[in-house]
Amino acid sequence: MPDNQHNDNLAATAIHMVIGAGESIALKARYVDGREFGLRLEDFVSSVDNRLSLRCLLPLPGIYRDRDGSVHKEREVEGHELESLKRSLAVLEDAGWQARLIPDRPLTSSLSVDNDAVISYTYLNDPPGPFFSEDPREVAHYRDQFESHWATSFEVSSAETLYDMSRSFIRATETSQIAIVCHEAWTTLISRLSKNPELLHDLHPRKFEELVAELLSREGLEVHLTPETRDGGRDVLAFHQTPVGRLLYLVECKRHLRTRPVGIAVVQRLYGVVAQERATAGLVVTTSRFSKEALTFAETVKHQLGLKDYENMKIWLRKHGKA
């Protein structure tokens, strides 16, 4: 098979590759519908065995990353771009793929299957592609490139959490990841959780932190999520501007199963951080319950520390989950 595939053969080649996959498929797309590979994304993912390791990187329109790794919003995103991204993420999620986002359109797109073959485009080359290769060096090059982009990509934990670019914000973390969260999408998710709060236990711990931040924001607080690692005993910083000054609340989130109570050590640690940072107060939020010792300790410092358990979460969700 020649390296430079004609467009009329590309779809057949791509389908042949993915049908024959034995372990993994890694797709990095320049267009959210994957059209550079001669297929609609819907047709592509339906041809794949969802028991494999399936990963896809899609471009996040309007965002770019400098050479130093910093992330910037470059432009407002048109509605059709956003809708296309939403559809593609939903298609991938439904088909069992892991999907992440990379800034705007990459200069290289690739479709790698196992460690056996790759179709690639490099848009600065003339011609840019597509090129098919089974050369182990070529395959390794594009797999390494994919892994590098995957490591610094932006996670999408749920198709519920999608993006309204007109109201987007960029949250820098230690890995320069971002979260751009749509108010309407959160409303849908909160409404669903209010009707079925057991789904709280299915959330990724980071997504639970984001949910708590969103709920605090809806209470009128200014919120900032801390990086996922080494957060110093607080996951969310919540600020409240009052006539007597700006107040700071430190919030620790524990997404535990209901059979696993939050113990006194967590509560005491947050209280210590509140004192050390001279914050106004602290709050521990959990999908579980608190141990007797934790409740007793919190009562002694009730003006500086609050506890919100699963039952409180249900009330909170119902408050903000009304249609």
Q: What residues have CB less than 8 Å from 69, skipping those under 6 apart?
A: 152, 176
Is the Cα dihedral 144, 137, 13, 110 positive or negative?
positive
Phi-psi domain of 38 (left: phi exceeds 0; alpha: psi -120 through 50; beta: other): left
Please report, for the chain, the start and end positions of each structural domain, with discontinuous segments joined by +. 7-167, 183-320
Task: State whether residue 307 is helix, strand or coil.
Answer: strand
Using only the alpha carbons of the chain, give its radius of gyration.
23
Pull the structure tokens for residue 273.
């951080």
Of 110, 121, 174, which Cα lies nearest the Cα of 144? 110
Tell me the residue type at 298: A
Cα separation of 26 and 53, whole Å?
A: 8
What average pLDDT does range 77-92 have in this prediction? 78
Looking at domain 7-167, which of 1.20.200.10, 1.10.3210.10, 3.30.870.10, 3.40.50.720 is its CATH number? 3.30.870.10
CA 200 to the chain's CA centroid: 16
At 207, give phi and psi (nearest 5°).
-65, -35
Q: Per residue in 85-120, pLDDT tens? A: 878 888 888 888 888 888 777 888 999 999 899 999
CB 212 within 8 Å of CB 312: no
* Angle between helix 205-218 and helix 310-320 axes, rounded to 10 deg: 50
Q: Is the pLDDT of residue 5 over 70?
A: no
Q: What is the pLDDT of residue 228?
A: 61
Poorest-confidence range of 6-10, 11-15, 175-179?
A: 175-179
What's the rounded Cα separation, in Å, for the pair 115 and 22?
10
- Which position has the higher pLDDT, 271 or 95? 271
Please indicate whether residue 66 or residue 273 has the higher confidence score (pLDDT): 273
For domain 183-320, give the CATH number: 3.40.1350.10
